[in-house]
Amino acid sequence: MICHEAIRAFPGFSRIVPLSAFTTWRIGGLCAALFPESPESLADIMKWIGESGVPWSMLGRGSNILAPSAGWNGVVVCLRGSLAEAAFQGETLTAGAGAALPGLAGAACSLGLKGMVFAAGIPGTLGGAVFMNAGAYGECMADIVREVSVVYPGGETRKLTRLDCGFDYRTSVFQQTPGAIYRVVLRLARGNRADLRREAADLLEKRRRSFPVTVPNAGSVFKRPEQGPPPGMLLEQCGMKGFAVGGARFSPVHANFIENTRGADSEDVLALIRAAKRRVLEMTGFQIHEEIRVLGGES
């Protein structure tokens, strides 16, 4: 199940890793991982991926990923070095896609720059947030993205404007045309430093009260259906809150979160997802779709 070709092709920055250590669900078997530290090394990897046809995925902090417990015969690409660094200049933030989103949000607030408070408690990377058009409380990445640099399988590099990114609710063009996001430019605005820090602290406290932050989970599992109520409300109405399969259960704190309570595997989580989709459709008529991604397949 291990893609040893990747290990042989890039011996300087590759290794076999347990995906459970790279995902917030703490689920997943062994996989080959590549750790580029510069745009050049990432371009070399993407050129090889395009030529070899190896299945691949970017992997940031693994906060919206379900990895197979049996392992995956593909390659995960994890950005390091300059690809995880950030610099502020005036109201502009230029950062590697591997930079941690909460850290960037905190730094922006400390500098008196507004636009990123909503991201203070989102446990992902900047690249993952752009890929998903992550958001909360009425704001999202599409509001602040100015430019995105991407390298595609085969090695082609492009710079995309915000309009090129095709942002919509929890989606972007990168979900239809996969590429490795490696640098993002954000346009922020001047604000009051004390007010921003207070707002971020209030938001983090709200998250602590509303979400199961002490148990391994991957955040919101389902997207809000078009012209429908929040998925957590639908799931609770359908009796899914607290419903469990094996070591996985829908959280008693928030029904749109699946917790790994006691050594859950990927099949436990998939069984819960399928049961929830079926029950919500039967009882409410709404079709709900995953916000999380399943590495190497569909649920």
pLDDT tens-digit map of 66-87: 999 999 999 999 999 999 999 9
Q: How confident is the model at residue 1 (pLDDT cuts 50, 70, 90)?
A: low
Are residues 54 and 3 in contact, defined by beta-carbon separation less than 8 angstroms? yes
Is 170 tagged catalytic?
A: yes
pLDDT in tens, 92-115: 999 999 999 999 999 999 999 999
pLDDT in tens, 172-187: 999 999 999 999 999 9
Domains of the chain in sequence order:
4-77 (3.30.43.10), 82-209 (3.30.465.10), 231-294 (3.90.78.10)
Of 170, 224, 249, 293, which is the active-site residue? 170
- Confidence check: pLDDT of 298 > 70: no
Read off the DSSP letter of residue 46. Answer: H
Q: Which of 249, 248, 216, 254 is nearest to 233 (CA)?
A: 254
pLDDT in tens, 260-284: 999 999 999 999 999 999 999 999 9
Of 149, 279, 291, 293, which is the active-site residue? 291
Is 291 tagged catalytic?
A: yes
Compute φ and ψ for 43, nearest 5 degrees.
Answer: -65, -40
Q: Which of 272, 274, 290 is nearest to 231 (CA)?
A: 290
pLDDT in tens, 132-165: 999 988 899 999 999 999 999 999 999 999 999 9
Of 220, 224, 259, 293, which is the active-site residue? 220
Q: How many angstroms separate the CA atoms of 48 and 10, rounded?
A: 10
Joined together, the tokens standing for residue 109 give 């607030």
Average pLDDT over every residue of 233-259: 97
Q: How many angstroms separate the CA atoms of 187 and 293, rounded?
A: 28
